[in-house]
């Protein structure tokens, strides 16, 4: 198995190499989409808690180790190093999420947020145990179903139908596809 190294790239280099325009464009394999699926994992709790960004597993961002994907993602929102370190030191992903709602957003955030999330998810599932658990979800549709109304990263059930973009679920299915090919 080949080890993949995640290269550190600052935003200037990111922009110069033309990645900024592509940062939010994700390529999903046709088989990874929900078309024709008969089963779905629609809650990232209990046996599927490991799919949540709140799952504790070390994530390295800008040469610092964060306790979870959520911590790293919230820290990536800002260029303020003190705010990043404060988020890194919080004792729960929930506290990191709340702190991330208060930081000064980096200027390009809306253009690059999906890029960061996908990078952190790829890194998370380099862990052999988590990788196998993700593979074990087979071809089930992964939906970050929630009751708090997040229809960008997840979906909400309304009148018996799931509505929302489910970007987290799509990224998890993308990474599952990547690690099984």
Which CATH number do you get for residue 40?
A: 1.10.357.40
Q: Which helix (H) or strand (E) holds 173?
A: helix 167-180
The pLDDT confidence band at residue 47, using thresholds 50, 70 and 90, is very high
| % of the chain exceeding 70 in pLDDT | 79
pLDDT digits (tens, 9 = 90+) for 2-24: 444 444 555 555 555 555 444 44
**Considering its fold, how many domains does the chain have in total?**
1
Cβ 73 vs Cβ 67: under 8 Å = no
Q: What is the pLDDT of residue 28?
A: 45
13 part of a folded domain: no
| 137 in a structural domain | yes
What is residue 177's predicted lDDT score, i.e. its pLDDT?
Answer: 96
In this prediction, residue 18 carries a pLDDT of 52
Is 126 inside a domain boundary?
yes
Domain assignment present for 58: yes
The answer to whether residue 41 is domain-embedded is yes
What's the domain range around 130?
A: 31-180
Dihedral angle sign, alpha carbons of residues 60, 88, 54, 165: negative
Question: For position 33, what pLDDT does the model report?
Answer: 46
> What pLDDT score does 79 carry?
98
Between CA 163 and CA 36 the distance in angstroms is: 17
- pTM listed for this prediction: 0.80
Specify if 53 maps to a domain. Answer: yes
The CA angle 178-170-89, to the nearest 5 degrees, is 90
- The whole-angstrom distance between residue 61's C-alpha and the CA centroid of its chain comes to 13
- Whether 10 is covered by a domain: the verdict is no
């Amino acid at each position: 198995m080949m080890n993949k190294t995640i290269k550190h790239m600052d935003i200037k280099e990111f922009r110069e190499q033309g990645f900024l325009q592509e940062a939010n464009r994700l390529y999903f394999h046709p088989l990874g989409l929900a078309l024709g699926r008969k089963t779905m994992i629609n809650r990232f709790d209990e046996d599927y808690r490991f799919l949540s960004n709140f799952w504790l597993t070390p994530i390295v961002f800008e040469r610092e180790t964060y306790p979870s994907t959520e911590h790293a993602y919230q820290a990536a929102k800002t260029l303020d190093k003190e705010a990043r370190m404060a988020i890194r030191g919080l004792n729960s992903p929930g506290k990191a999420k709340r702190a991330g709602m208060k930081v000064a957003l980096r200027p390009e955030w809306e253009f690059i947020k999906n890029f960061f999330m996908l990078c952190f998810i790829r890194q998370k599932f380099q862990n052999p145990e988590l990788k196998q658990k993700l593979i074990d979800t087979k071809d089930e549709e992964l939906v970050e179903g929630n009751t708090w109304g997040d229809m960008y990263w997840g979906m909400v059930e309304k009148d018996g139908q799931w509505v929302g973009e489910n970007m987290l679920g799509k990224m998890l299915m993308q990474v599952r596809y990547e690690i099984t090919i």
